[in-house]
Structure 1
Amino acid sequence: MTLQARLDAFKADFEAGKPPYNVPYSVIETMHRATAELIASGAAQRALKAGDMAPVFSLPDADGNMVSSAALLKNGPLVMSFYRGVWCPYCNMELQALQAALPGFQEAGASLVAISPQTAPNSRKSMRQNALAFPILSDARNDVAASFGLRFAMQDYLVELYKSLKNDLPAFNGDPSWTLPMPARFVIGQDGVIAYAEVNPDYTLRPDPSELMPALEALKASTVGSAS
């Protein structure tokens, strides 16, 4: 089953209010409204795209060790996934799919990191719950996400909804700003140029990890070609 098929199945059950979710339709309507407004804002079209130079960054992993994009790129291409947090079931399913795809990424010579605004303890929880063998980096205040064009401020009515659902993002993130990244995937070549970019303001839509492989294979082929 593809990642999107899993996400669609979860969404259907969630929006139908099936146990254990039992979510009122008014909640679903509010989430749909917020997603539609983010799509209409054009924010995703302003994010970095394939062919752009990727920002250089250094962020702490779940154990507090600093991880540098420049250092990772010395070893090969870099696959990056920006996600919302451990509280998001769609994000957790994506992390599981990325873990399953990790051997293929490594065979292509690439490193994989996931980035979220959550605190280190929540990143450790993400890693345990999803049995991850790749690092999750904490992007405080979504500053690195902003450099990629992904950060957005949640609408006031959506903040109120999250509060009513006891989804306390300031506690998850150690940040009172109520900002999130649009979910996004990037493949960055060793020259720092983005080879693949996918940004979606609808958090229920995620590309299958296999969709990143052509970009990685092209980078690998170009490296072999330049060395011969």
Structure 2
Amino acid sequence: MDQSTSAVMGQLVKTACSLEGSLARQLTYIADQIRLMNPHFSDAVDAFVDRLTNAHAGDKAPAVGDPMPGFLLPDDQGRLVSLERLLETAPVVVAFHRGHWCPYCRTNMIGLAALEADIKPVQIVAVSAEVQAYSRRLKAEAKAGFPFLTDMGNGYALSLNLAIWVDDDMAALIQAADIDIPRYQGQEGWVLPIPSVFVVGQDGLIKARHIDPDYRRRLEYADLKAFARQALATS
């Protein structure tokens, strides 16, 4: 991402995070501003989201009441983190995001970091296919205490039926905005996870989940806080 694009996205995120109210309000602000700046790009995103929705993307992901498949993934410092070990301590929130380049994900991660203390001892882990250098960048921006895990090649997301292919037209538009997803992920290919949240109880079962093919929409923090408390109460 070049400096001009980075500066514009950074200002969008900063302004969005300053807005009081819901996460939806913050993300709608970003979407509206991007549409003003580049209507063609936003129209393409609408078509992309429609394609995913019509294909029922994410519908086959693990459901509430199902066991959450385990993972063993490196964190932003290269240390291996397993779901099994985390669950020995408390319930876990597994939050999939697209990466440091996405203003919606940046805003969401900043909000999750602010929520972290309120839901302890429930733990949060952020998961994307980005290599550690970029995960560390987003973690620092969010001022997060929770780990950012690297899902190389989107392997874990694929196993959960959460990975989506970015078509050539959409990829070209993203590249035109100086966003280099293959470089950020450390390998060729245009695959991204559907931004999703799973709240996993200490019994390993999914207590709540949020999956939306439209990456411009995310789980509200108040709802996540309630789900986390419920998971803790039943552990």
Q: Structure 1 length normalisation: TM-score?
A: 0.91
Equivalenced residue count is 215
1:42 aligns with 2:56: yes
8 Å Cα contact 1:115/1:139 also seen in 2: yes
Aligned residue for 1:45, secondary structure, equals coil
Gap regions ≥5 residues in structure 1? 18-22, 224-228
Q: Which runs of 4 or more aligned residues in structure 1 lie more than 4 Å from their structure 2 counterparts after TM superposition? A: none
Identity %: 30
Kept after mapping to 1: 8 A contact 2:130/2:151: yes
Residue 167 of structure 1, aligned match among 179, 189, 204: 179
Q: Name the counterpart of 1:91.
A: 105
In structure 2, the residue corresponding to 1:137 is in which secondary structure? strand
Distance, in Å, in 1 between the alignment partners of 2:96 and 2:146 is 14
1:221 lines up with 2:229 in the alignment = no
Q: Would the aligned equivalents of 2:196 and 2:212 in 1 still touch at CA under 8 Å?
A: yes
Indicate which of 98, 102, 114 corresponds to 1:100: 114
Partner of 1:8: 28
* Aligned partners of 1:154 and 1:179 also within 8 Å: yes
Name the amino acid aligned to 2:209.
A
TM-score, normalised via structure 2 length: 0.88
- Deviation at residue 134 of structure 1 after TM alignment: 1.1
Is contact 2:110–2:141 with CA below 8 Å preserved after alignment?
no
Larger Rg: 1
Deviation, 1:16, is 1.4
Contact 2:200 2:231 in 1 (8 A): no
Q: Confirm or deny: 8 A CA contact 1:76 1:190 kept in the other structure.
A: yes
Counterpart AA for 2:23? L
- Secondary structure, in 3 states, of the residue corresponding to 1:67? strand
Q: What are the equivalent positions in structure 2 for 1:54-73 lying under 5 Å apart?
A: 54-73=68-87
Q: What is the rounded CA distance, in whole Å, between the counterparts of 2:66 and 2:200 in structure 1?
A: 10
For residue 208 of structure 2, the aligned residue among 196, 199, 221 is: 196
Q: In the aligned structure 2, how far is the partner of 1:112 from the partner of 1:27?
A: 32
Q: Using the TM superposition, give the Cα deviation of residue 222 of structure 1 relative to its aligned residue in structure 2, in angstroms.
A: 2.4
Shift in Å, 1:219: 2.6
Of 32, 35, 42, which aligns to 1:28? 42
Note the residue ranges of structure 2 that are not aligned, 5 or more in a row.
Answer: 1-20
After TM superposition, give the deviation of residue 28 of structure 1 in Å.
1.6
Q: Is the Cα contact below 8 Å between 1:101 and 1:210 reproduced in 2?
A: no
